[in-house]
Amino acid sequence: MSYDVVIKGGRIYDGSGLPSFLADVAVQSGRIVEVGRIDRERARDLRGRETQR
């Protein structure tokens, strides 16, 4: 599958109350379409940073 953006190594807070975790996030057409380990060239490395939305 082709993605518009892949953000690598972000800390994910899913709102469930469970602990956060490190994962990659794939975005296509403005929507998150995959969370997990994603091997793609178009990626932003966020190791050592935290993001939230």
In a domain, 18, yes or no: yes
- Region for 48 from its dihedrals, namely left if φ exceeds 0, alpha if ψ lies in -120 to 50, beta otherwise: left
Domain count, the chain: 1
Residue 53 lies in a domain: no
The range of the structural domain enclosing residue 21 comes to 5-45
- Walk along the chain (53 residues) and give the pLDDT tens digit of each residue: 678 888 889 999 999 999 999 999 999 889 999 999 987 565 666 677 766 65
Is 24 among the domain residues?
Answer: yes
* Tokens (6 digits) for 44: 């932003």
Is the model's pTM score more than 0.75? no
Question: Is residue 36 in a domain?
Answer: yes
**Strands lying side by side in the sheet with 31-36:** 31-36, 21-28, 5-12, 43-45
